[in-house]
């Protein structure tokens, strides 16, 4: 078998990370968190986004994209299921916030858990019949699901049709701290809100990843048949991955809708599914740091290079192609992912496993 | 009787891959299933381990009809398969791969797996030297050993082996079969599917010959080695095995 040689897959950075003692890692986490809290500073904004409102893009697209990518990573990066319709769950969260907020007058803090549950149920409804499919077939069905939600919203009066829903309430203010006053002008409180949610999500996801569930996902990703033969209830765990990924997408939708006041179906295009998937894959699916980096770049680069006007998407596409040629495993891949790539199977879904039989 | 297939039919779409296969495996035996490419050997194993659904007929294991039980439950019952083409987890280390083998067991018993690791490393000393190496970096022979070792971690009553000699050098093939005999000696019943009929027949107690989805012969393995048809079809022309 000819094996593609990938030089220095893990990088010296991740190697020294693995040598860090527990307290050292904790210190790094604290530093990262402090960094994230200080990120909206004007001095940083002048460098990062001289042509746009840095604080505003920190919330959307950057913060929301990172949240979505972390959610999609569970489906694509951990369980190895190719989902091309992830935007559907983002839309479900967004529309839940919009409809329950305007029609029912519910508060953000009631809608958030409700929408998370609704998105999770939607994930199960989509997953139960389709997770028996594999690889590209699953991708096609999920793609369809993403479109179904958007087109349904476009054609349903109760969902506002093409004009969408306006007058979505903001989250309630918390005390009198200026960082927690949710109005129209200051985007910083929204950034801190999404940051807080992100921290909780990352902690939960990392716990899951290192549990029996995470090990089962890894086995399914690497060889679904072998996983079943080892006693892993593969269908159940794939459904779990879908539901958890979906609920994070739903949370992202609630965040987004609670700031923008009005949403329309055009906020949830197919291209958003692709962008988030690109973030996961180019960052390094399966590795949370890589995925966050990928989502940050996908969200930030087009904003940073607004000067290129219409060409920025072209440049972005070119950069993606170049990256996939020279670093197909992503910027910061997980150890296992890198190994699976060299093995030539276990890409997206289990397409590779099916073709691996040689006689 | 540990395992019984009774007139089992399996379809891939409209194509009937198994056309009424009946076979039995007694506790303590090594039974081999030989046949040409596409005869339905792998399908038979997958039907027993649960990767394929039966269209009709019965699969009974220790008296229980398991024909419609999902694969992961059958592992709990004591059936474990080392899949064709090895099917190890390439991104997991040797130890992690073996831990996956005990996945079903930890669910209920939560017993410690140390004895099982010892046993596997005793059977396959080559693996002991590669504990933290990832599965994808092992040689073909080592991957085969890992696949068998991983299946043993489940402490199966019935071990299913799909083409354990595939792609291995002749010397390794006889080594693998020696170990298979040793595992059987330790009390595990084995059903092995093989294209390398000479080795499979030499090591097994009984054998079945499968042709285009049907069992065409069943006999003690030794007598099949002497059988003219079998020699002509599966042993003839093979030099050095």
Domains, chain B, with CATH or none: 3-87+155-226 (3.40.50.300)
Q: Give residue A349's pLDDT band: very low, low, confident or very high (50, 70, 90).
A: very low
Residue with tokens 């890992």: B146
The single-letter DSSP state of residue A9 is S
Q: Give residue A1's pLDDT band: very low, low, confident or very high (50, 70, 90).
A: very low
Q: Give residue A345's pLDDT band: very low, low, confident or very high (50, 70, 90).
A: very low
Q: Give residue B119's pLDDT band: very low, low, confident or very high (50, 70, 90).
A: very high
C-beta neighbour count of B240 within 10 angstroms: 5
**Assigned token pair, A143:** 């793609």
Contact A187, A59 (CB under 8 A): yes
Q: What is the model's pLDDT at position A342?
A: 66
Backbone angles phi, psi at B80, to 5 degrees: -135, 135
Q: What is the model's pLDDT at position A323?
A: 84
DSSP 3-state assignment of B6?
strand
Q: Kindly tell me if the per-residue pLDDT of A7 is higher than 60.
A: no
> What whole-number distance in Å separates Cα of residue B227 and Cα of residue B235?
10
With 0-12 / 13-18 / 19 or more C-beta atoms within 10 angstroms meaning exposed / middle / buried, residue A305 is middle
Q: Give residue A355's pLDDT band: very low, low, confident or very high (50, 70, 90).
A: very low
Nearest Cβ partner for B76 among A222, A231, A342: A231
The separation between CA B44 and the C-alpha centre of its own chain, rounded to angstroms, equals 11
Contact A302, A316 (CB under 8 A): yes
Q: Which residues share a beta bridge with B6?
A: B58
Are B105 and A225 an interchain contact pair (Cβ–Cβ within 8 Å)? no
The single-letter DSSP state of residue A159 is G
Which residues contact residue A216 at a Cβ distance below 8 angstroms, ignoring those fewer than 6 apart? A227, A232, A233, A234, A237, B103
Q: What is the model's pLDDT at position A351?
A: 34
B121 touches chain A (CB under 8 A): no
**Contact pairs from chain A to chain B, CB under 8 Å:** 102
Nearest Cβ partner for A230 among B70, B103, B167: B103
Q: What is the model's pLDDT at position A239?
A: 96
Which residues contact residue B110 at a Cβ distance below 8 angstroms, ignoring those fewer than 6 apart? none
Contact B121, B153 (CB under 8 A): no
Distance from CA of B101 to the nearest CA of A (A): 5
Q: What is the pLDDT of residues A10-57, one digit of tens each?
A: 566 777 877 888 898 899 999 999 999 999 999 999 999 888 899 999
Q: What is the model's pLDDT at position A52?
A: 85
Mean pLDDT across the stretch A151-167? 95
Contact A288, A334 (CB under 8 A): no
Q: What is the model's pLDDT at position A103?
A: 94
Mean pLDDT across the stretch B154-161? 96
Please list every residue in chain A whose beta carbon sits closer than 8 Å to the beta carbon of residue B135.
339
- pTM score: 0.89
Q: Could you tell me the end-to-end alpha-carbon distance of chain A, in angstroms, rounded to an integer?
A: 13
Query: What sign for the dihedral angle of Cα B181, B183, B185, B190?
Result: negative
Please list every residue in chain B whose beta carbon sits closer than 8 Å to the beta carbon of residue A346.
90-91
Nearest Cβ partner for B136 among A218, A219, A342: A342
Q: How many helices (H) and strands (E) does chain A have?
A: 17, 0
Which residues contact residue A109 at a Cβ distance below 8 angstroms, ignoring those fewer than 6 apart? A171, A172
* C-alpha separations of B89 from A227, A233, B80, B168 in Å: 9, 16, 16, 19
Which residues of chain A are at the B interface, by a Cβ-Cβ cutoff of 8 Å?
212, 215-216, 218-219, 222-223, 225-235, 335-340, 342-343, 345-346, 353, 356-359
Nearest Cβ partner for A229 among B81, B137, B166: B81
Please list every residue in chain A whose beta carbon sits closer than 8 Å to the beta carbon of residue B76.
231
Mean pLDDT across the stretch A214-223? 94
Q: What is the model's pLDDT at position A354?
A: 35
Please list every residue in chain A whose beta carbon sits closer than 8 Å to the beta carbon of residue B81.
229
Q: What is the pLDDT of residues A226-264, one digit of tens each?
A: 999 999 999 999 999 999 999 999 999 999 999 999 999
Q: What is the pLDDT of residues B1-22, one digit of tens each?
A: 999 999 999 999 899 999 999 9
B92 touches chain A (CB under 8 A): yes
Contact A292, A283 (CB under 8 A): yes
DSSP assignments along A160-210, one per residue? TGGG-B--PPPPPP-TT-GGG---SS--HHHHHHHHHHHHHHHHHHHHHHT
Nearest Cβ partner for A343 among B50, B84, B136: B136
Are A336 and B91 an interchain contact pair (Cβ–Cβ within 8 Å)? yes
> What whole-number distance in Å separates Cα of residue B110 and Cα of residue A351?
33
Q: What is the model's pLDDT at position A3?
A: 43
Which residues contact residue B237 at a Cβ distance below 8 angstroms, ignoring those fewer than 6 apart? none
Q: Give residue A347's pLDDT band: very low, low, confident or very high (50, 70, 90).
A: very low
B69 touches chain A (CB under 8 A): no
Q: What is the model's pLDDT at position A193?
A: 95
Q: Give residue A204's pLDDT band: very low, low, confident or very high (50, 70, 90).
A: very high
Could you tell me which residue, A350 or A269, shows the higher pLDDT? A269
Mean pLDDT across the stretch A78-88? 95
> What whole-number distance in Å separates Cα of residue B239 and Cα of residue B241?
6
What mean pLDDT is reported for chain A? 87
Distance from CA of A342 to the nearest CA of B (A): 8
Reported ipTM exceeds the 0.90 cut: yes
**Assigned token pair, B161:** 């082996």
> What whole-number distance in Å separates Cα of residue B99 and Cα of residue B96?
5
**Which chain A residue's Cα is nearest to B76?**
A231
Contact A275, A65 (CB under 8 A): yes
Are A230 and B154 an interchain contact pair (Cβ–Cβ within 8 Å)? yes
Q: What is the pLDDT of residues B200-234, one digit of tens each?
A: 999 999 999 999 999 999 999 989 988 888 888 88
What mean pLDDT is reported for chain B? 91
């Amino acid at each position: 078998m000819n094996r593609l040689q990938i030089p220095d897959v893990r990088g010296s950075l991740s190697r020294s990370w693995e040598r860090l003692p527990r307290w050292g890692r904790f210190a790094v986490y604290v530093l990262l968190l402090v960094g994230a809290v200080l990120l909206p500073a004007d001095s940083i904004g002048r460098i990062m986004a001289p042509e746009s409102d840095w604080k505003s893009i920190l919330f959307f697209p950057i913060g929301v994209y990172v949240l979505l990518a972390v959610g999609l990573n569970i489906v694509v990066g951990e369980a190895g299921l190719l989902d091309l319709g992830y935007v559907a769950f983002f839309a479900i969260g967004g529309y839940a916030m919009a409809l329950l907020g305007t029609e029912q007058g519910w508060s953000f803090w009631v809608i958030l858990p409700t929408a998370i549950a609704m998105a999770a149920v939607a994930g199960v409804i989509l997953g139960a019949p389709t997770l028996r499919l594999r690889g590209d077939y699953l991708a096609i069905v999920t793609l369809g699901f993403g479109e179904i939600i958007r087109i349904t919203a476009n054609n349903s009066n109760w969902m506002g049709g093409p004009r969408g829903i306006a007058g979505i309430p903001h989250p309630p203010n918390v005390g009198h701290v200026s960082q927690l006053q949710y109005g129209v002008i200051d985007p910083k409180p929204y950034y801190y809100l999404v940051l807080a949610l992100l921290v909780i999500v990352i902690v939960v996801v990392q716990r899951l990843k290192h549990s029996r569930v995470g090990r089962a996902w890894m086995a399914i990703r690497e060889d679904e048949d072998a996983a079943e033969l080892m006693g892993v209830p593969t269908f159940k765990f794939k459904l779990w991955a879908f539901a958890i990924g979906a609920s994070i997408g739903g949370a992202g939708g609630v965040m987004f809708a609670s700031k923008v006041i009005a949403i329309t179906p055009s906020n949830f295009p197919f291209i958003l599914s692709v962008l988030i998937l690109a973030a996961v894959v180019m960052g390094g699916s399966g590795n949370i740091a890589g995925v966050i980096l990928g989502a940050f770049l996908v969200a930030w680069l087009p904003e940073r290079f607004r000067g290129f006007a219409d060409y920025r998407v072209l440049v972005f596409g070119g950069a993606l192609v170049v990256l996939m040629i020279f670093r197909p495993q992503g910027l910061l891949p997980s150890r296992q992912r890198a190994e699976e790539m060299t093995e030539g199977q276990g890409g997206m879904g289990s397409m590779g496993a099916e073709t691996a039989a040689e006689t | 009787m540990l395992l019984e297939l009774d007139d089992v039919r399996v379809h891939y779409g409209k194509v009937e891959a198994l056309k009424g296969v009946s076979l039995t495996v007694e506790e303590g035996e090594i039974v081999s299933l030989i046949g040409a490419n596409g005869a339905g050997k792998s399908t038979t194993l997958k039907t027993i381990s649960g990767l394929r659904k039966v269209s009709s007929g019965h699969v009974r294991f220790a008296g229980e009809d398991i024909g419609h039980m999902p694969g992961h439950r059958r592992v709990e019952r004591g059936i474990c398969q080392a899949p064709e083409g090895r099917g190890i987890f390439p991104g997991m280390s040797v130890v992690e791969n073996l831990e996956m083998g005990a996945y079903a067991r930890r669910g209920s018993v939560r017993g410690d797996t140390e004895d099982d690791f010892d046993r596997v490393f005793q059977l396959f000393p080559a693996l002991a030297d590669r504990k933290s190496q990832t599965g994808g970096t092992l040689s073909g022979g080592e991957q085969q050993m890992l696949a068998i070792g991983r299946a043993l971690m489940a402490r199966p009553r019935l071990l299913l082996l799909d083409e354990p000699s595939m792609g291995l050098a002749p010397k390794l093939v006889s080594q693998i079969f020696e170990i298979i005999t040793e595992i059987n000696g330790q009390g595990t019943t084995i059903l092995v599917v093989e294209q390398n009929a000479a080795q499979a027949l030499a090591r097994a107690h009984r054998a079945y010959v499968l042709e285009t989805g049907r069992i065409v012969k069943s006999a003690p393995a030794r007598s099949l080695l002497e059988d003219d048809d079998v020699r002509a079809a599966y042993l003839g022309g093979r030099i050095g095995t």
